[in-house]
């Protein structure tokens, strides 16, 4: 149980284009989903928290107009990187917290974004 | 400022050589401490949650313990398949019901050779 999927697992795009990453909780309903970014040999940095049906809360320093987050249902959240630049290249990971009240977050397998 | 520090940064063990990983934390109010395992190019895999000092959790060769200032992840008789980066995270803001964000340490990369 508690499986989270991400799609795509890797993507290469050209500078200036937009990329959408999907995060799905497969066997549970997630009231809250989180988006993290991880650089090589670094730990996870929280970008934003999204609750189903409401606007995402972004961490300080994260541009909300560049990283668009939509949490349309209890099993799906999307992250859209708009007008991507090479510095946006990174490993993006989502996590989901069950609506059952348990505190654990379950992570997806991650999406490797490369902007050329 | 809430902070999580893991040590050592890297650890090399021989198969069967037991050891411990450390996670020191300072938070305004601990809601929970979490251990995850992360393999290269993959998302973190949940291992344990600890809520209060004195609590212990076990899973196969891993045992996590918690005090008021730190947590240890003990690895008994490790095998090469235990090689991974182990991440410690805390959830703070005990009195803030909306505060569910995790604060991660930088991780300990464990290499177990046969």
**pLDDT given at position A82:** 97
**pLDDT given at position A77:** 94
**pLDDT given at position B93:** 62
**pLDDT given at position A17:** 97
Identify which of A104, A100, A47, A102 has the alpha carbon closest to the alpha carbon of residue A74: A100
pLDDT digits (tens, 9 = 90+) for B14-52: 999 999 999 999 988 888 999 999 999 999 999 999 999
Report chain A's terminal Cα–Cα distance, integer Å. 37
**pLDDT given at position A84:** 96
Share the mean pLDDT of chain B. 92
How far is residue B19's CA from residue B77's CA, in Å, rounded to a whole number?
8
Say if the Cβ atoms of A107 and B106 lie within 8 Å.
Answer: no
pLDDT digits (tens, 9 = 90+) for A59-82: 999 999 999 999 888 899 999 999
Residue B97 has pLDDT above 80, yes or no: no
Reported residue count of chain B is 114
**pLDDT given at position B26:** 92
**pLDDT given at position B27:** 87
| A21 DSSP assignment | E
Say if the Cβ atoms of A46 and B91 lie within 8 Å.
Answer: no
Q: For residues B25 and B33, is the Cβ–Cβ distance under 8 A?
A: yes
Among chain B residues, CA nearest to A105 = B46
Tokens 């200032």 correspond to what residue? B69
- Which chain A residues have a beta carbon less than 8 Å from that of B44? 44, 93, 95, 107
**pLDDT given at position A41:** 81
How far is residue B3's CA from residue B7's CA, in Å, rounded to a whole number?
13
**pLDDT given at position A72:** 82
How far is residue B109's CA from residue A8's CA, in Å, rounded to a whole number?
26
Q: For residues B71 and B23, is the Cβ–Cβ distance under 8 A?
A: yes
Q: Which residues of chain A have pLDDT under 70?
A: 1, 101
**pLDDT given at position B94:** 52
Residue B104 banded pLDDT, cuts 50, 70, 90: very high
Say if the Cβ atoms of B34 and A104 lie within 8 Å.
Answer: yes
Residue to substitute from A103, A110, A113, interface B, most B β-carbons within 10 A: A103
Residues in contact with B98: Cβ distance below 8 Å, sequence separation at least 6, in sequence order? none
Say if the Cβ atoms of B87 and A43 lie within 8 Å.
Answer: yes
Share of chain B above pLDDT 70, in %: 93
């Amino acid at each position: 149980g508690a499986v989270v999927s991400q799609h795509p697992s890797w993507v290469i795009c050209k500078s200036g284009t937009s990329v959408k990453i999907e995060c799905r909780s497969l066997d549970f309903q997630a009231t809250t989903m989180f988006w993290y970014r991880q650089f090589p040999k670094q730990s996870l940095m929280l970008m934003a928290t999204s609750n189903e049906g409401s606007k995402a809360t972004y961490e300080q320093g994260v541009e909300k107009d560049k990283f668009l987050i939509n949490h349309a249902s209890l099993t799906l959240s999307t992250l859209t990187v708009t007008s991507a630049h090479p510095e946006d290249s990174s490993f993006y990971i989502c996590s989901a917290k069950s609506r059952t009240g348990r505190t654990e977050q379950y992570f997806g397998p991650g999406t490797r974004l490369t902007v050329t | 400022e809430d902070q999580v520090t893991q040590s050592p940064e890297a650890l090399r063990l021989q198969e069967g050589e037991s050891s411990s990983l450390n996670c020191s934390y300072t938070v305004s109010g601990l809601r929970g401490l979490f251990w995850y395992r992360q393999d290269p190019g993959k998302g973190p895999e949940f291992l344990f949650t600890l809520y209060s000092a004195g609590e212990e959790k076990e899973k196969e060769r891993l045992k996590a313990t918690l005090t008021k200032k730190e947590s240890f992840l003990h690895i008994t008789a490790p095998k090469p398949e235990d090689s991974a980066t182990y991440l410690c995270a805390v959830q703070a803001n005990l009195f803030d019901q909306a505060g569910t964000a995790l604060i991660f340490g930088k991780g300990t990369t464990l290499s177990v050779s046969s």
